[in-house]
Amino acid sequence: MSAAAAGVVEPRALEGRVVLVVGANGGLGEAASRACAQAGAKLVLLGRRVPKLNRLHHAFAGEGGDCTLYPLDLEGASPDDYAEMAARIGEEFGRLDGLLHCAANFRGLTPLALTDPADFARAVHVNLTARWWLTQACLPLLQKSADAAVVFALDAQAPGSRAYWGGYGLAQAAQVALVDMLQAELGPGSPVRVSGFSPGPLRTALRANAFVAEHDHAAVDPARAAKQCVELLSSTGAMHRGQVWSPA
């Protein structure tokens, strides 16, 4: 049985692949970026905090990694901004082999009746609309690859039906539908495959907005989920096409 058939990721599983990590300066985003770099990817790191992006760049350069930085705030970015980003990636690399969505916005647990309208709109936009706008802008580049992956990192702790998760929770539920819808529209013969990734509770600043860290024994270091991000972005991830994967 081959490594791919067994679900085993090769040490350099992303060798030569161009991967865009959105939200690279966050908890899962940074861990996944490091794992992708170690797997041989050429990285485009997108985030809104320039100092954190620069720190990642220096770390990767010291480890022999290959990355390009792209500062952008998803909250204020327009479809034209994403089109410009895609054009720049195309000029530099000619294609895109992987797109990993890790950027998220969550202010805390609040009853819908008491939610600030601006916070609700922001959560839906950053966690759903902006993710789609960016993906849409990148589709032509992804279709130039022989094997491209779009991966949406999801939060199983916040399904749309649970109380108090507001716009963030609704955006999670909508993304599950988006994975299914987009894959169906692309079809089985497309070089672009779409999947969701629900890693379980991670010890991040975003989760700390809902759970007290010292009592949150279920959460684990994001680095433990990073290898699954590499798997989904690699050729092995084809087995999860059109699915939301929640590893045991």
pLDDT tier at 37, thresholds 50, 70, 90: very high
Q: What is the pLDDT of residue 58?
A: 84
Domain that holds residue 88: 18-245
- Is the residue at 75 inside a domain? yes
Position 22 in a domain: yes
Where in the chain does DSSP place strands (E)? 18-22, 42-47, 66-71, 98-101, 148-153, 192-197, 244-245
Q: Do the domain assignments include residue 28?
A: yes
pLDDT in tens, 146-164: 999 999 999 876 666 689 9
Measure Cα distances from 23 to 48, 91, 112, 129 in Å. Answer: 8, 22, 26, 15
- 99-144 pLDDT, tens digit each: 999 999 988 899 999 999 999 999 999 999 999 999 999 999 999 9
Percent of the chain with pLDDT strictly greater than 70: 85
Residue 112 lies in a domain: yes
**Residue 176, pLDDT score:** 95
Query: DSSP code of 127?
Result: I
Q: pLDDT digit string (tens) for 219-228?
A: 677 788 899 9
Task: Report, as an integer, the average pLDDT of 186-211.
Answer: 83
Structure tokens at 172: 């999670």
1 occurs within a structural domain: no
210 vs 16, higher pLDDT: 16
Rounded to 10 degrees, the C-alpha dihedral 10/20/159/225 comes to: 30
- pLDDT at residue 57 above 80? yes
Q: Is residue 108 part of a domain?
A: yes
Q: Classify the C-alpha dihedral 238-241-245-248 as positive or negative.
A: negative
Given a cut of 90, is residue 201 above it in pLDDT?
Answer: no
Q: What's the pLDDT at 61?
A: 73
Does residue 86 have a pLDDT over 70? yes
Whole-number percent of the chain with pLDDT over 90:
67
Say how many domains are in the chain.
1
Q: What is the pLDDT of residue 222?
A: 79
**Rounded to an integer, what distance in angstroms lies between the CA atom of residue 116 and that of residue 230?**
37
Q: What is the CATH number of the domain that holds 48?
A: 3.40.50.720
For residue 2, being part of any structural domain is answered with no
**CA-angle at 9, arms to 186 and 7, nearest 5°:** 70
Q: CA–CA separation, 22 vs 233, rounded Å?
A: 13
Domain-embedded: residue 160: yes
Indicate whether 48 pLDDT > 70. Answer: yes
Which of the pair, 10 or 175, is modelled with greater confidence?
175
Kind and range of the H or E element at 98?
A: strand 98-101
Residue 40, token pair as written in the block: 């041989």
